[in-house]
Amino acid sequence: MNWRSEHIWIELITGSRKISNFCWACILFLGSLGFLLVGTSSFLGRNLISLFPSQQIIFFPQGIVMCFYGIAGLFISSYLWCTISWSVGSGYDKFDRKEGIVCIFRWGFPGRNRRIFFRFRIRDIRSIRIEVKEGPFPRRVLYMEIGGRGDIPLTRTDENLTPREIEQKAAESASFLRVPIEVFRNETKKSRNECSSSRGGGGEPKNPFFLLI
């Protein structure tokens, strides 16, 4: 969800409360519970689930393996449900061109770093950087390069954005902030387009365009 005006751009980040996470948490919980009940039934010698005749399953080694998978799956599903309930990774990105301020907020895990907040000036932004990793598991992540603070990710590594989507997001961010776009591919830095880096007036810069091959 985005809200944008001439000088302010606010982007709300969903984080872990995605439909896919809800689906995976439910599937893992039900599947793991089934494995654990079948393994326990093979140990007790009676059916705890009528759909699966546990008498045909020997406790050692099949029952033990099913219990192990069931317990492991329950731990993973519990982790997913915790991240969903805590809304880990959610927050907002606020770009205020009128005040010259950028605010980035994220919810983390409970503890000292539960609230993650960054605040800096737009003039400290050097570029919008796209990191492209090719291979069997390709990855495209969008970063904001800040002078003296390193890189701040604007997208999650598990978002799996298409080349067109990440190009559009990078182009919109660079155009609004009036900074250049840089592409890192296979550890090689390639500057594909330069926007107007002027922080003053002079009108709106042209939208940057580039193609990832």
For residues 150 and 54, the model is more confident at 150
Say what the pLDDT of residue 208 is: 40
Of the two residues 94 and 44, the one the predictor is more confident about is 94
Quote the pLDDT of residue 149. Answer: 79
Domains and CATH numbers, the chain: 2-17+88-193 (2.30.29), 19-86 (no CATH)
Q: List CB contacts of 189: < 8 A, sequence separation 6 or more.
A: 182, 183
pTM for this model (two decimals): 0.73
Which pLDDT band, with edges at 50, 70 and 90, does 1 fall under?
Answer: low
In the chain the first and final C-alpha atoms are separated, in Å, by 29
- Residue pLDDT, tens place only, 154-183: 888 777 788 888 989 999 999 999 999 998
CA-based torsion, 153, 154, 160, 162: positive or negative: negative
